[in-house]
Chains A and B, each alone.
Chain A
Amino acid sequence: MDLNEKLGILADAAKYDVSCSSSGGTRKNKNGVGDSHACGICHTWADDGRCVSLLKILLSNECIYDCVYCINRSSNDVPRASFTAEEVIELTMNFYRRNYIEGLFLSSAVLKNPSHTMELMLEIVKKLRTQHKFFGYIHIKAIPGADERLINEAGMYVDRMSVNIELPSDKGLEVLAPQKPKKALLKPMHQISNKIIESKENKRLFKKSESFVPAGQSTQLIVGATPDKDLSILKLSEALYSNFNLKRVYYSAFVPTVTDPRLPALIKPPLLREHRLYQADWLLRFYGFEADELLSKTNPNFNPELDPKADWALRNLHLFPIEVNSAEYEMLLRVPGIGVKSAQRIIAARRVGRLTFDNLKRIGVVLKRAGHFVTCQGKTYESYSSNEAIVKDSLISAKLQPKSKKSVAGQMSLFSFVNDSEADESLSEFLLTESPSNSRQWLSYFNQPQDGRLLLSDIHL
C-alpha cells in the first residue's frame, strides 16, 4: 500500500476526534526546526469548517477493541492500515517545513495491546524531538491500560496528552464500550494530572528541569450516542476541570458511522446541541458560571432557541439592568452581548471617563442584546424593556433566525423542514425518539434516571 492511500485511511480514521488545537504551551526552537506559541495557530479550514492545525492521524486503525460507536471497531468492515515510524516522521517534517501544519496529533487504535501501542507512539515522538530536532507542537493520546512508565516518558516529549472518555456516563461505557473499563480511562488522566503538578513544582525549585505535558491535558465527550442529558455532560466537564485541571474538554456530535441496535438512529449529527455545550463550556471556563446555574434537574437540556448565557439572563431578569460604569467585571461578563474582550475594554475605558451607549457600541458591545440588561449613567437603551416576553423575542431575533426559510404556512411538511433547516436541529432529535425499531431497544438500556450515575463519583479519586 502506498503512502498516499495509507494517509487517506488513517486520516479518515482520526477525523472524528475533534481536538486539533495547538495552544496552551510555548516551546522554543533550540537549533532545530519549529516552535509553538501559547495562542496556537490554525493553518487551514476543512470543508466542514473545522480548523486544521495539526496533522491528525492514527498510527494504526487495526483495533482489538469493539466499541460500538467507533468507526475503527474491530467488527467494522473498513480498510485497515498502519504507518511505520519513519512514515509518520517524514510526513510531519515535510508538512511542517512547508507551513501546512503546526505539529502532530498522533493517536492510535489499540494494536495488539495498550503497552505495545504506547511504545510505538513513544518511539515516534522521541525520534522527532531528539534525532530530527523538531520543536513544533505534539499532541498524543495516552492509551488507557498502557504501562505507567511509558506514559510518563512520553509526557516528557510532548506538549499535550489526552485520554478520551467519549461516553459521558458509566452506563454508556458499559453498553457501548464493554472492553474499556472506566477505571482504566480515569487512571491515566489522574496520573497525567499528578505528573503535571509535580513537574510544575520541580520547575519552581530547579529552573532547568524538563516540563511534563506543558500544554496540559484534554479529553473528548461524544454527544448524542447515549441518552445522557446536557446537565450530566456539563457536570462531568465541570468536575474534570476542577479535579484533573484539564485544559479543554471537547464535545463531538455523534456521527453515525456504523449501525448497531445499541446506537440511536440519528438523521444527522446533533450539531446545535454540540454548539450549545461549547458555549456553556466557555461560560464555565472564562465567565465564572457554574453548571448548576445554567441547567437544573427540572431543566436538564439547553434551550435550542437561546444560547445558555441569554437563557440564564432571561431566567434572572431581576438582577438587571446593571450600570455599566460601576458594575463589577464578573457581572459585566454575565450580560448577553458582552464578551470577555468587551468586558475588559469597558473596565479599561471607564477608568478614563464615563461611558455612553455610543462608546459601548464602538467598544464592540452588541447593543441589540446587551441593551436589555445595562444602563449607561442611569439611562436605558432605546429598545430597553423589562418584559420577559419582549426581551426573549428580541434576543431570538438578534440571532439564530433561520435566514432563508422559503415556506408557505400550512404547506410545510415535516421532512422538507428537516432537510433544509439548520436552526431546527432539535427537531431531528425529536424524530429520533419517535423513529421506529431501534430507538426503543436503545433506550431500554438506560432505564434509570440520568443524573447521579456518572463518572463523577470516580473523579474524586
Chain B
Amino acid sequence: MIYIYDGTWDCFLTAIHHYYYDKQDVSNIESSLCYKPNLIDEYRTITTDIIKAKAVEEAILHKISAESLENIQRCFFSEIEGREIWILKYIRMGFKIGSRIDSMLGDKTVLDVLIPARKVGLECHRMLGLIRFELLEGGIYYSKIQPDHNIISFISPHFKNRFSDQNWIIHDTKRKIASLYNTKKMLLSYMDLSNIPELHSDELKFQALWKNYYKHIAIKNRINPKLQKNFMPKRYWKNLTEKKPD
C-alpha cells in the first residue's frame, strides 16, 4: 500500500497518523506532485486533517525531542527525493528509543534524515547573506530567490527581525511561494506575484555603488576563483546584484 499526500507538511503528518492508526501494510508515502499512478501499486490518497497533523507533531516533540522535530522538518523541506520513507523510518525508531536518537550520529537511519537536514541548514545560513533586495516604487524591498531547498519559511523570520521597519517581499520564483512583510505582520503563502512595480529611481545608483565596491575590494595578487565558487556556488550568482553584468 502506498499513501499519497498532497506535498504539504500537514498532509504528510496526517499520513503518518494514518500509518500508525489504520494498521495497513504501508510500503511508502509519496507526494502527489511526483507520484505517477500505475496498475501494480495499491494506493490511497490522504487528505489533510489538521488535528491529526498536530497530534503527530506533539508526539514527536514529547516522545522524541524538539531537536528531532526540527531535523525532521528540515529534512522534509529539503524536497530531496525519498525523504518521506527516510522520515518514516526515523520516526519509527524515535518512538522506540526516544531522545537517544539525537546522539546516534553514526547510524544510517538517523543520518538519512540528518544529512538532508544539514544541507537545508547550510543553505538557510548561506541565503541569509546571499539574498539581495531591490527597492521598488512605493518603498517595497523586493528579493527574488531560487534556492535548492524549500527554505523560505526558515529564513523569513530572520528578515522580519532585521528589517522590521521596512516593507519587504521574498519571492521564491522556483516554487511560486512568497513571504510578505508590511512592518507589522508577515504573510507566507503560495502565490505567483505578477505586476511587480518599477524600480525606485535611486535603486540603480546604489546597485552601481555596490558593484564598484565589490570590484575594488578584491586583491588582484590573490585572485582565487576556485575558493570563491566553493563558498558561493555559481548557481546562486544569477540573483546577486554584484554578479549581474553592467
By a beta-carbon cutoff of 8 Å, the part of chain A in contact with chain B is 3-4, 7-8, 11-12, 14-16, 29, 31-35, 39, 41-53, 55-57, 91, 94-95, 97-100, 102, 133, 253, 255, 268-269, 271, 345, 348-349, 351-353, 355-356, 358-360, 362-363
Contacts and interface: CB of A to CB of B under 8 A. Distances in A.
A67 B205 CA distance: 36
B40 interface: no
Given A52-B214, A100-B242, 4 more contacts: A4-B212, A14-B217, A29-B162, A356-B106
Interface string B212-246: 11111111111111111011100000001110000
Contacts of B104: 349, 352-353
B132 A98 contact: yes
Interface stretch (B4-12, B58-66, B86-94, B123-131): B123-131
A45 B208 contact: no
B164 interface: yes
B134 A46 contact: no
A91 B128 contact: no
B206 A94 contact: yes
Given A33-B166, A95-B206, A359 B133 contact: no
Contacts of B135: 97-98
B100 A352 contact: yes
A351 B213 contact: no
B202 to A, nearest CB: 8
Nearest to A253: B222
A72 B44 CA distance: 73
Given A49-B231, A348-B103, A255 B130 contact: no
Given A48-B222, A98-B134, A99-B133, A360 B106 contact: yes
B210 A15 contact: no
Given A7-B216, A35-B162, A352-B104, A44 B141 contact: no
Nearest to A55: B213
B108 A362 contact: yes
B128 A48 contact: no
A100 B106 contact: no
B105 interface: yes
B209 interface: yes
B154 interface: no
Nearest to B97: A352
Contacts, number: 157
Nearest to B208: A4
B111 interface: yes
Contacts of A31: 164-165
A7 B206 CA distance: 12
A353 B106 CA distance: 10
A91 B209 contact: yes
A41 B218 contact: no
Nearest to B162: A35
A362 B114 CA distance: 11
21 contacts: A7-B209, A7-B216, A16-B219, A31-B165, A34-B162, A44-B130, A45-B227, A45-B228, A46-B218, A47-B225, A48-B228, A49-B225, A49-B230, A52-B217, A94-B206, A99-B159, A255-B222, A352-B104, A359-B107, A362-B106, A362-B111
B128 to A, nearest CB: 5
B141 A97 contact: yes
A261 B128 CA distance: 47
B223 A351 contact: no
Given A91-B209, A98-B133, A255-B219, A29 B228 contact: no
B161 to A, nearest CB: 6
A11 B213 contact: yes
A52 B219 CA distance: 12
Interface string B45-67: 00000000000000000000000
A33 B163 contact: yes
B32 interface: no
A40 to B, nearest CB: 9
Contacts of B173: none
A48 B165 contact: no
Contact of B217 (A39, A46, A94, A355): A46
B129 A33 contact: no
Contacts of A12: 216
Nearest to A255: B221
A91 B208 CA distance: 12
B105 A363 contact: yes
A355 B224 CA distance: 39
Nearest to A39: B125
B217 A351 contact: no
A41 B125 CA distance: 8
A47 B162 contact: no
A47 B163 contact: no
B221 A7 contact: no
A117 B133 CA distance: 34
- Pick from A43, A94, A99, A360 the residue with the most CB of B within 10 Å: A99
Contacts of B130: 43-44
Contacts of B226: 49
A67 to B, nearest CB: 18
A7 B102 CA distance: 49
Contacts of A360: 106
B143 interface: yes
A253 to B, nearest CB: 8
A351 B106 CA distance: 12
A3 B104 CA distance: 56
A46 B214 contact: yes
8 nearest CB pairs, A to B: A359-B106, A49-B227, A49-B224, A46-B218, A11-B216, A47-B218, A48-B222, A43-B129
A349 B216 contact: no
Name the residue among B103, B128, B143, B219 with the largest chain A CB count within 10 angstroms. B219
Contacts of A349: 103-106
Contact of B232 (A3, A45, A97): A45
Nearest to B163: A33
Contacts of A43: 129-130
A24 B158 CA distance: 18
B164 A98 contact: no
A100 B132 contact: yes
B222 A271 contact: yes
A15 B162 contact: no
Contact of B209 (A4, A14, A39, A355): A4
